[in-house]
Amino acid sequence: MIFRYYKYFRWLSLDIVLGAIVFLAFLEKHYSQEIQLTVYFALAAAVWLIYTADHLIDSAQAEGSPRRRFHQKYYKVLIFIGGLIFILAILNLPFLPGEVLRSGAVLSASCISYLLLVFFFKRLWVKEVLVAVGYAIGIFLAPLSMLNRLDASDTMMVVQLFIIALINLVIFSRFDIEEDTGQGFGSIAIRIGLRNTDTLIKALILLSAVLSVIGLNLGHGIFFIQLSYLMMTGVLAIVDYWPSYFNINERFRLVGDAVFYVPVIFLW
């Protein structure tokens, strides 16, 4: 019963939203900041709207997975809910810190551009890269914009989150390659082929692990975030190593999205 309802939780991208909120809470603790609830709402709304719009565009262009059929069935309902959340997000803008609002405007424009690309170019194959960039920057946007200055470790952590998000998405594209090919969608796995995709995933996993090990030895108070990154990379490596198991009932998607909950371990 629990797994049945969690299925809808995932189809509605609420697991992605929860992962983003957990990570932001972790960064708030890491930087010893006090991030307003309005910032959390802005992040949650932005993530949900982007992922839901992406799924709605996919479902309008083709049938296929249960998630796409779900979005087709409840298309009008999700559009209505999305409209309400968008209005609330606009009303929330005056309550955001000025530095967050200014930085967020640039990211919002980039996200809108991404959605337009997805809408007009069904075979867009750099989708995974664009989503990973937007996700990493979106999570770090508020904490970094509130700092007086950035150092190399801050930039490194953003890049590392981008790499982990990209590993996650490329693994997904490899598992979805047959369905995406049949429906005429583009992905990095389709573009470069299965063998090169496997090589890319392993190279990214190795790079992520190496950067985390280096980060663990840098100090600068980044030990726990680096340990989180290393654990997240390890989980994704297991998913990559055991495709026959994780392909059953889309376990790869369940575990792949859940890796972003890892930082909750270090919130206390």
pLDDT tens readout for residues 225-257: 999 999 999 999 999 999 989 988 888 988 998
Determine the pLDDT at residue 259: 93
pLDDT of residue 115: 66
Predicted local distance difference test score (pLDDT) of residue 162? 96
Q: How far is CA 214 from CA 113, 137, 156, 228, 261, in A?
A: 35, 22, 11, 13, 23
The rounded distance, in Å, linking the Cα atoms of 217 and 78 is 46
Total structural domains within the chain: 1
Alpha helices in the chain (DSSP H): 2-11, 14-30, 37-61, 66-73, 75-92, 98-120, 127-145, 152-175, 177-183, 188-192, 194-216, 223-241, 243-246, 251-258
What pLDDT does residue 63 have? 64
Which pLDDT does position 120 carry in this prediction?
Answer: 63
Higher pLDDT, 181 or 78: 78
Q: Bigger pLDDT: 196 or 3?
A: 196
Closest by CA to 55, choosing from 84, 88, 12, 116, is 12
pLDDT class for 41, splitting at 50, 70, 90? Answer: very high
At residue 125 the predicted structure's pLDDT band, cuts being 50, 70 and 90, is low
For residue 16, the SS3 value is helix
**Averaged over 132-146, what is the pLDDT?**
90
% of the chain residues with pLDDT over 90: 44
Q: CATH code at 62?
A: 1.10.600
Average pLDDT over residues 41-52: 90
In the prediction, which pLDDT does 231 show? 96
User: How would you class 148 by CB atoms within 10 Å of its CB: exposed for 0-12, middle for 13-18, buried for 19 or more?
Assistant: exposed
Query: Which letter does DSSP use for residue 265 in this model?
Result: G
How would residue 27 be classed by pLDDT, with cut points 50, 70 and 90? very high
What is the reported pLDDT for 188?
86
Query: Which pLDDT value is given to residue 1?
Result: 56
Tokens of residue 33, six digits? 């900041």
SS3 label, residue 153: helix
- pLDDT score for 198: 95
pLDDT in tens, 213-232: 999 988 768 899 999 999 99
What number is the average pLDDT over the span 112-134? 74
Can you give the pLDDT at residue 58?
A: 77
In this prediction, residue 68 carries a pLDDT of: 80
Tallying the residues shown for the chain, one arrives at: 268
Rounded distance, CA 252 to CA 240, Å?
A: 9
In this prediction, residue 167 carries a pLDDT of 97
Average pLDDT over residues 24-40: 92
For 154-176, the pLDDT digits (tens) are 999 999 999 999 999 999 999 98
Q: Is the pLDDT of residue 9 over 80?
A: yes
Q: Which domain holds residue 249?
A: 2-266
Write out the two tokens for 190: 């389709």
pLDDT in tens, 178-216: 887 877 777 888 888 899 999 999 999 999 999 999 999
